[in-house]
């Protein structure tokens, strides 16, 4: 789903380790960029990884699990 | 909370360009635009040749965001740096600011007009309805919205290119560094992008660490 | 239209293109400091033609913000989505791919993390394979075409079949200058197993042995040398098994470019402490990952190998017990090596220091088990049969062969070259290596085929059925050689290029002369290939192009390098008007009068049923595999039923990566129990499918029971020679064998002697009477042997001495065009041979005249050739894929900075590379390529990749291609300029060592 505005609070909550950058003149002038929906807000594909729609934690869990496919040890020493 | 990062292990990268064509395939990026690229340094020099796959690193303190005069960049909740092509004016400041040379400018027209900037999206699409045709046309595939990770990292021939949550990457990488008994210097670009080497890479090389 | 496609016309604004391209690299240089990139320099220079064309035609028509049109974005629109599992068609590693298909359109591709072979990984070719399914602006051959008045014209399939078959029959019936042997069929290692098998049958039913495929020019010397040493001509273990290895010695393989995904296993092994050694004239991408790199002179592999062996013997590092038990002739080899290959002689030949060679020897000796790994670097030499055998001997001396983690990992090239070698169109063997020269082979296969053997015999010209045919490397001489010196009735007058590029064959300049003389050339290929362009460059008529479906547009099995058989599901229907290879075989056979025989229809029985396909009926691939299962006993292609292999494909996750074995599990669809099976049932998988032999992951491995995939060396060469025992010594046998010493192969007599005859069922006895393990269609003899823990093919020693080869002990022989006349003097090549594979073959006369004409002075540099990761084989297919083509836009010559500086050549500029090869007008052949100035090669060597075609000695051949079907990237084919030279045993062409001169380009 398309969201035009996402409040800064969500960003801060999401990227707690990250610096929220606000150095550009446009940003300082209060302009807000169009933003994306969060990936976990989508319905999983019929043939693909599964998580509970809208549940960030379950999405992240499956993403981290899938990520281990990039580590051949996962498959070799299963 | 997951924080998306890339890491290319120079001890593993063989410049097969699998990441490059995986990106082309998944995002249908046009000829001449290279969101990802493999660069070899000291090409052909015995003992010194190293290859590295490079794209937008989705930096912690992204210089592109800092310099953009129209502020078209934003960072997603999971740390991916994206931009709005409807706002982009193609000025090229981001290219000059980027330490990785990631921004690409499809050019067209008789006067060499610069197009909207295009770059790696971490296969996260952009500010259009997720998985819509509009999103695909402007930004490419949204794999994150499908619960998948970037095609380049998922298809890397030697699993040199890692893409996903930074903590998980660091764990994978730490294990490799320990096995190799190296110093972890091969995680090229990580420090520039994220301000610190991967956790555990330094000093993770006890003698006889190989199994 | 898809933006990534490149049109062939128009030029772009150089300035903008140059700015835009190479941006990532430019940006990086500031970070990296020193960036010199082989690809970047070429790409930057070549982008003008590439991106320019695209930009001018496409990008300008779209808003700047768009990156692409959304062929793939249809996924959201609804419609049936299916996932088809297939195997990459670009090399022999066998990477699995999940193709996402919607309403018949291939919309996406996903990695198969479950595959025990590639674990989801892909190289540039595999990661871009979906492009084959994209129809917008495709460079495929779209419909049948005919060359008429110098132009390619569209024709119908019916017209094509009518005209081609009429011409073939006319040639066949020409009593004076024709006959069945006037046709040569160049088959393909890209055909799947079933198609390559059907093609061998097709050619036999036509009545000739004049057929061949890429294996001739890729690993024929390996197959011959290795089979003659220990039994089977194949990679002994798997890529995966390198994970169990302590040393990997790459001699003649650049796996990082040719088999990139194999490096996943290699680098994993390395991280676990395995030593990686690369010896190569070039510092390759693979060498960049090695612990030890040794540069040596191209073509001096025997001195290199025996130099290593010298140190091994000298220090007593050989495995004496192993040699005693399992090797014949090592003592004599040792004597010769100690006397002949002393360090000074080795240094003189190879250019390597004694310390370098010693270091390799010591590393190999201290890190066992280990592999020697090779590909074309060893095989494509005039002396290659000796080189590969020297490699075998080295591994035997170290006791590395026949165990996990050690042996000869011979990397095959094409995706099914192993399968096509095993059961495909070979001039000297029927499927399963049954020799054409032995009448029993024909009796065996006609029984399997359900065809009257007399009928087949009558299809052949008198006396020709038992005579091995010509080879693909020499077909040009079959056309142009004087009729009275060739060993068959007519000269070749018609040729089928059925999935084979001409530019992978040497002596291109001579090839166009042969094309001028042909009555008929038929190219059957998804792409018109360089054959079409070369032919149209010199002819006005006489050629037909038939569009063939790719392997992604059909189903069937393919055998990867490690002998695992994988099943491909059909991803999409054949595109455009193309038809499957097997449909074309059947339809042509209908015209030529042997369609029933092709599918085994006789006496109310039909072996292979016909199924509906796009364009008509075609033989069932599953039935064809079942027929193969019923006949290919020699190499154990009998247990791999379609049902078993398909169950493996559905359950990849059950197979262990290091052993390839399934610990347990059942297939949900069929209930088939996979427990104990090795992935893909690597051949030999003996007996009938019902016997459930698990396949053999590592050949000749005595540590396992034969029913667990164990084995031993083959008894193929008798039981003794000059009083010396050739069978294995007492105590050397597969685990659990009831015969604990060497024994000959099993046949009905041996079974009776052993008292095991009654283990056969009554039905088996009827069939087995008078038969051997290789001809008993019941499989009973194999079953009983295996039941007693014995290997059906006997248990013998490997041969360090192959007495039936010209050099019983491998000898170094200088290439025909050697840079070292002094070495030619010491190590001359063979004498000329009057008839070899039906043709006179020159050795010494060519070598001596080269010395006499001082070719080494006119052409003082060694020219070698090889692969790039982005392209495959002749390259027309991959150079038509824009995602790959963009990465390599120009052919080039790698030249050392000193060599370049001496000639005033600068990086990136065009040069002429000329060789001793001559055009018909007597002028030396020359190639226009870009100079890549790099230390990758030494000052004495130049390298040109071989995947390019479409330029001819400076001229673009675009006008000679059918409209819209020329590859995106064209360039000089190095093989236009390669010189004469063939292996003494197999007719392998020499492409790795010839001579050249490089000069600044002048128009």
Is C883 close to B21, i.e. CB distance below 8 A? yes
Instruction: Report, as an integer, the average pLDDT of C495-513.
Output: 97
Pick from B69, B83, B127: which is nearest to A24 by CB? B69
Banded model confidence at residue B107, pLDDT cuts 50, 70, 90? low
Distance in Å, alpha carbon of C896 to nearest chain B alpha carbon: 10
Distance in Å, alpha carbon of A78 to nearest chain B alpha carbon: 15
Helix (H), strand (E) at residue C285: none
Is C657 close to A46, i.e. CB distance below 8 A? no
Q: For B10-61, how does the pLDDT look when each residue is reduced to its tens digit (9 = 90+)?
A: 999 999 999 999 999 999 999 989 999 999 999 999 999 999 999 999 999 9
User: What is the predicted pLDDT for the residue at A36?
Assistant: 82
Task: Kindly list the partner chains of chain A, i.e. chains with 3 or more CB atom pairs below 8 Å.
Answer: B, C
Banded model confidence at residue B115, pLDDT cuts 50, 70, 90? confident
Instruction: Report, as an integer, the average pLDDT of C548-577.
Output: 98
Does B102 have pLDDT greater than 70? yes
SS3 content of chain B, % helix, strand, coil (to 5): 25, 20, 55
As given in the structure block, the two tokens for residue C718 are 């008798």
User: What is the predicted pLDDT for the residue at B192?
Assistant: 87
Phi, psi of C166 (to 5 degrees): -60, -45
Query: In this complex, is the C-beta atom of A16 within 8 Å of any C-beta atom belonging to chain C?
Result: no
| Chain B residues lying within 8 Å of C883, measured CB to CB | 20-21, 24-25
The C-alpha atoms of residue C471 and residue C426 are separated, in whole angstroms, by: 8
Does C988 have pLDDT greater than 60? yes
Banded model confidence at residue C567, pLDDT cuts 50, 70, 90? very high
Pick from C59, C121, C127: which is nearest to B25 by CB? C127
Residue C965: count of CB within 10 angstroms of its CB = 22
User: What is the predicted pLDDT for the residue at A31?
Assistant: 54
Cβ within 8 Å of residue B86, ≥6 positions away: A34, C65
- Which pairing describes strands C839-841 and C833-836: parallel, antiparallel, or unpaired? antiparallel
C164: left (phi over 0), alpha (psi -120 to 50) or beta: alpha
The C-alpha atoms of residue A40 and residue A44 are separated, in whole angstroms, by: 9
User: What is the predicted pLDDT for the residue at C65?
Assistant: 57
- Identify the closest residue of chain B to C884 by CA–CA distance: B21
Does C63 have pLDDT greater than 70? no
Task: Kindly list the partner chains of chain B, i.e. chains with 3 or more CB atom pairs below 8 Å.
Answer: A, C
Banded model confidence at residue C58, pLDDT cuts 50, 70, 90? very low
Detail the DSSP E strand segments found in C625-725.
720-721, 724-725
In the stretch 176-205 of chain B, residues with CB closer than 8 A to chain C read 176, 179-180, 189, 192
Cis peptide before B114 (omega within 30 of 0): no
* B108 compared with C213, residue with greater pLDDT: C213
**Cα separations in angstroms, C61 against B32, C69, C71, C135, C699:** 16, 12, 17, 20, 59
The single residue listed with the structure tokens 């190095």 is C974
Q: For C699-756, how does the pLDDT look when each residue is reduced to its tens digit (9 = 90+)?
A: 999 999 999 999 999 999 999 999 999 999 999 999 999 999 999 999 999 999 999 9
The C-alpha atoms of residue C10 and residue C56 are separated, in whole angstroms, by: 7
Q: Any bridge partners for residue B83, and if so which?
A: B73
Distance in Å, alpha carbon of C757 to nearest chain A alpha carbon: 44
Does C68 have pLDDT greater than 60? no
In 3D, which of C197, C683, C655 has the Cα closest to residue C426? C197
| Chain A residues lying within 8 Å of B22, measured CB to CB | none
DSSP string, A35-73: BPPPGGGSPPPTTS----TT-HHHHHHHHHHHHGGGSHH
Q: For C786-806, how does the pLDDT look when each residue is reduced to its tens digit (9 = 90+)?
A: 999 999 999 999 999 999 999
Cβ within 8 Å of residue C639, ≥6 positions away: C629, C681, C685, C686, C687, C688, C689, C691, C692, C693, C695
Instruction: Report, as an integer, the average pLDDT of C453-474.
Output: 98
Is C127 close to B30, i.e. CB distance below 8 A? no
Query: In this complex, is the C-beta atom of C108 within 8 Å of any C-beta atom belonging to chain A?
Result: no
Q: For B116-154, how does the pLDDT look when each residue is reduced to its tens digit (9 = 90+)?
A: 999 999 999 999 999 999 999 999 999 999 999 999 999
- Which pairing describes strands C96-102 and C183-186: parallel, antiparallel, or unpaired? unpaired
User: pTM of the prediction?
Assistant: 0.93
Instruction: Report, as an integer, the average pLDDT of C156-182.
Output: 97
Cβ within 8 Å of residue C72, ≥6 positions away: B28, B136, B141, C107, C108
Is C273 close to B210, i.e. CB distance below 8 A? yes
Does B205 have pLDDT greater than 80? no
Helix (H), strand (E) at residue C543: strand C543-547
Is C886 close to B31, i.e. CB distance below 8 A? yes
Does C147 have pLDDT greater than 90? yes
User: What is the predicted pLDDT for the residue at A74?
Assistant: 86
User: What is the predicted pLDDT for the residue at A6?
Assistant: 34
The C-alpha atoms of residue C390 and residue C624 are separated, in whole angstroms, by: 38
Is B100 close to C126, i.e. CB distance below 8 A? no
Distance in Å, alpha carbon of B174 to nearest chain C alpha carbon: 13
What's the alpha-carbon Rg for chain B, to the nearest Å? 17
User: What is the predicted pLDDT for the residue at C180?
Assistant: 98
Instruction: Report, as an integer, the average pLDDT of C456-479.
Output: 98
User: What is the predicted pLDDT for the residue at A35?
Assistant: 79
Does C18 have pLDDT greater than 90? no
Is B149 close to A21, i.e. CB distance below 8 A? no
User: What is the predicted pLDDT for the residue at C281?
Assistant: 98
Cα C752 from chain centre: 41
Is C243 close to A76, i.e. CB distance below 8 A? yes
Banded model confidence at residue C67, pLDDT cuts 50, 70, 90? low
* C430 compared with B107, residue with greater pLDDT: C430
User: What is the predicted pLDDT for the residue at B199?
Assistant: 55
User: What is the predicted pLDDT for the residue at B204?
Assistant: 37
Which of C26, C27, C263 has the most B C-beta neighbours within 10 Å, making it the best mutation to test the interface with B? C27
Does A12 have pLDDT greater than 50? no
Is C64 close to B159, i.e. CB distance below 8 A? no
- Identify the closest residue of chain C to A76 by CA–CA distance: C657
Banded model confidence at residue A10, pLDDT cuts 50, 70, 90? very low
Cβ within 8 Å of residue C753, ≥6 positions away: none
Does C131 have pLDDT greater than 60? yes
Does B166 have pLDDT greater than 90? yes
Alpha helices (runs of H) in C610-693, residue ranges in sequence order: 621-631, 642-650
User: What is the predicted pLDDT for the residue at C388?
Assistant: 98
Instruction: Report, as an integer, the average pLDDT of C224-233.
Output: 96
Mean pLDDT value across chain C: 93
């Amino acid at each position: 789903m398309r969201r035009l505005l996402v409040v800064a609070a969500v960003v801060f909550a999401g990227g707690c380790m990250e610096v929220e950058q606000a150095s550009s003149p446009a940003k300082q002038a209060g302009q807000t960029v169009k933003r994306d929906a969060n990936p976990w807000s989508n319905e999983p594909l019929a043939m693909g990884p599964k998580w509970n729609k809208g549940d960030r934690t379950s999405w992240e869990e499956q993403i981290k699990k899938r990520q281990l496919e990039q580590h051949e040890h996962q498959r070799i020493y299963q | 909370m997951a924080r998306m990062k890339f890491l290319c292990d120079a001890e593993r990268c063989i410049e097969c360009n699998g990441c490059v064509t995986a990106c082309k395939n998944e995002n249908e990026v046009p000829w001449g635009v290279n969101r990802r690229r493999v660069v070899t340094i000291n090409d052909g020099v015995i003992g010194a040749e190293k290859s590295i796959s490079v794209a937008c690193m989705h930096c912690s303190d992204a210089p592109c965001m800092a310099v953009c005069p129209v502020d078209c960049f934003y960072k997603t909740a999971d740390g991916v740096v994206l931009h709005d092509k409807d706002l982009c004016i193609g000025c090229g400041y981001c290219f000059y600011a980027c330490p990785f040379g990631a921004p690409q400018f499809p050019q067209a027209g008789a006067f060499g007009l610069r197009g909207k900037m295009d770059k790696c999206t971490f296969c996260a699409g952009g500010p259009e309805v997720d998985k819509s045709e509009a999103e695909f046309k402007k930004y490419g595939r949204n794999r994150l919205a499908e619960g998948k990770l970037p095609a380049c990292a998922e298809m890397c021939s030697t699993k040199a290119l890692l893409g996903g949550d930074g903590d998980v990457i660091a764990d994978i990488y730490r294990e490799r560094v320990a096995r190799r008994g190296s110093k972890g210097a091969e995680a090229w670009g990580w420090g520039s992008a994220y301000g610190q080497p991967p956790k555990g890479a330094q000093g993770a090389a006890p003698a006889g660490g190989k199994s | 239209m898809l933006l990534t496609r490149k049109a062939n016309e128009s030029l772009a604004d150089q300035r903008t293109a140059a700015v835009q391209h190479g941006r990532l690299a430019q940006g990086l240089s500031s970070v990296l400091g020193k960036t010199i990139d082989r690809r970047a320099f070429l790409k930057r220079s070549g982008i003008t033609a590439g991106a320019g064309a695209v930009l001018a035609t496409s990008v300008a028509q779209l808003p700047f913000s768009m990156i692409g049109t959304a062929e793939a974005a249809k996924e959201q629109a609804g419609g049936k989505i299916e996932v088809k599992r297939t195997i990459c068609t670009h090399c022999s590693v066998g990477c699995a791919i999940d193709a996402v298909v919607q309403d018949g359109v291939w919309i996406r591709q996903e990695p198969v993390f479950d595959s025990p072979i590639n674990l989801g990984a892909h190289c540039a070719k595999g990661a871009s394979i979906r492009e084959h399914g994209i129809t917008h602006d495709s460079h495929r051959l779209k419909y049948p075409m005919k060359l008429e008045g110098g132009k390619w014209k569209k024709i119908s399939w019916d017209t094509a079949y009518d005209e081609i078959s009429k011409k073939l029959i006319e040639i066949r019936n020409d009593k004076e200058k024709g006959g069945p042997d006037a046709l040569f069929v160049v088959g393909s290692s890209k055909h799947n197993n079933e198609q390559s098998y059907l093609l061998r049958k097709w050619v036999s039913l036509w009545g000739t042995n004049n057929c061949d495929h890429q294996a001739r020019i890729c690993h024929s010397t390996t197959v011959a040398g290795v089979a003659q040493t220990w039994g089977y001509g194949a990679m002994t273990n798997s890529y995966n098994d390198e994970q169990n290895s302590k040393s990997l010695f790459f001699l003649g393989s650049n796996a990082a470019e040719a088999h990139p995904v194999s490096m996943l296993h290699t680098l994993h092994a390395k991280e676990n402490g395995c030593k990686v050694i690369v010896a190569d004239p070039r510092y390759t991408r693979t060498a960049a990952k090695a612990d030890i790199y040794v540069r040596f002179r191209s073509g001096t592999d025997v001195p290199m190998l025996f130099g290593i062996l010298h140190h091994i013997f000298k220090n007593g590092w050989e495995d004496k017990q192993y040699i005693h038990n399992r090797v014949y002739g090592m003592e004599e080899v040792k004597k010769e090596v100690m006397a002949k290959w002393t360090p000074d002689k080795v240094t003189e030949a190879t250019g390597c220091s004694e310390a370098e060679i010693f270091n390799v020897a010591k590393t190999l000796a201290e890190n066992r088990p280990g592999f020697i790994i090779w590909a074309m670097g060893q095989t494509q030499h005039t002396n290659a049969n000796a080189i590969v055998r020297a490699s075998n001997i080295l591994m035997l001396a170290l006791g590395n062969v026949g165990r996990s983690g050690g042996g000869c990992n011979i990397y095959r090239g094409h995706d099914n070259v192993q399968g096509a070698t095993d059961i495909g169109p070979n001039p000297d063997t029927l499927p399963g290596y049954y020799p054409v020269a032995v009448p029993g082979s024909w009796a065996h296969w006609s029984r399997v085929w359900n065809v009257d053997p007399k009928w087949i015999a009558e299809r052949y010209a008198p006396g020709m059925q038992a005579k091995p045919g010509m080879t693909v490397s020499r077909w040009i001489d079959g056309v142009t050689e004087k009729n009275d010196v060739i060993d068959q009735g007519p000269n070749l007058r018609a040729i089928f290029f059925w999935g084979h590029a001409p530019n992978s064959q040497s002596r291109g300049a001579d090839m166009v002369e042969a094309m001028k003389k042909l009555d008929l050339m038929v190219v059957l290929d998804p792409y018109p290939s360089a054959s079409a362009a070369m032919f149209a460059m010199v002819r006005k008529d006489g050629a037909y192009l038939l569009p063939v479906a790719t392997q992604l547009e059909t189903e069937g099995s393919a055998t990867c390098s490690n002998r695992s058989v994988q099943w491909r599901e059909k991803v999409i229907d054949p595109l455009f008007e193309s038809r499957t290879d097997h449909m074309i075989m059947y339809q042509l056979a209908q015209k030529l009068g042997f369609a029933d025989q092709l599918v085994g229809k006789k006496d109310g029985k039909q072996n292979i049923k016909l199924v509906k396909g796009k364009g008509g009926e075609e033989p069932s691939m599953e039935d064809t595999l079942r027929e193969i299962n019923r006949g290919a006993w020699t190499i154990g292609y009998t247990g791999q039923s379609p049902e078993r292999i398909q169950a493996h494909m559905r359950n990849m996750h059950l197979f262990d990566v290091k052993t390839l074995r399934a610990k347990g599990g059942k297939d949900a669809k069929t209930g088939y129990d996979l427990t104990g099976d090795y992935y893909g049932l690597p051949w030999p998988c003996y007996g009938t499918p019902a016997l459930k032999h698990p396949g053999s992951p590592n050949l000749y491995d005595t540590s396992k029971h034969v029913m667990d995939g164990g084995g031993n060396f083959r008894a193929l060469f008798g039981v003794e020679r000059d009083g010396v025992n050739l069978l294995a010594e007492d105590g050397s046998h597969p685990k659990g064998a009831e015969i604990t010493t060497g024994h000959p192969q099993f046949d009905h007599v041996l079974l009776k002697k052993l008292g095991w005859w009654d283990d056969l069922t009554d039905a088996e006895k009827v069939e087995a009477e008078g038969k051997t393990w290789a001809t008993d269609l019941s499989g009973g003899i194999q079953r009983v042997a295996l039941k007693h823990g014995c290997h059906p093919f006997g248990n013998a020693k490997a041969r360090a001495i192959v007495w039936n080869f010209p050099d019983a002990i491998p000898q170094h022989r200088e290439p025909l065009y050697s840079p070292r006349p002094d070495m030619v003097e010491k190590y001359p090549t063979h004498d000329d041979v009057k008839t070899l594979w039906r043709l006179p073959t020159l050795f010494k006369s060519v070598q001596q005249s080269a010395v006499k004409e001082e070719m080494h002075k006119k052409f003082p540099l060694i020219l070698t050739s090889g692969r790039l990761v982005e392209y495959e084989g002749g390259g027309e297919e991959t150079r038509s894929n824009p995602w790959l083509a963009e990465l390599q836009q120009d052919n080039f010559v790698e030249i050392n900075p000193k060599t370049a500086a001496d000639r005033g050549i600068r990086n990136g500029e065009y040069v002429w590379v000329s060789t001793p090869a001559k055009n018909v007008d007597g002028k030396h052949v020359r190639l226009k390529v870009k100079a890549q100035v790099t230390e990758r090669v030494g000052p004495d060597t130049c390298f040109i990749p071989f995947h390019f075609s479409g330029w001819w000695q400076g001229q673009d051949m675009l006008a000679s291609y059918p409209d819209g079907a020329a590859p995106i990237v064209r360039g000089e084919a190095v093989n236009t300029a390669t010189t004469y030279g063939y292996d003494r045993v197999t007719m392998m062409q020499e492409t790795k060592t010839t001579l050249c001169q490089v000069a600044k380009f002048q128009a």
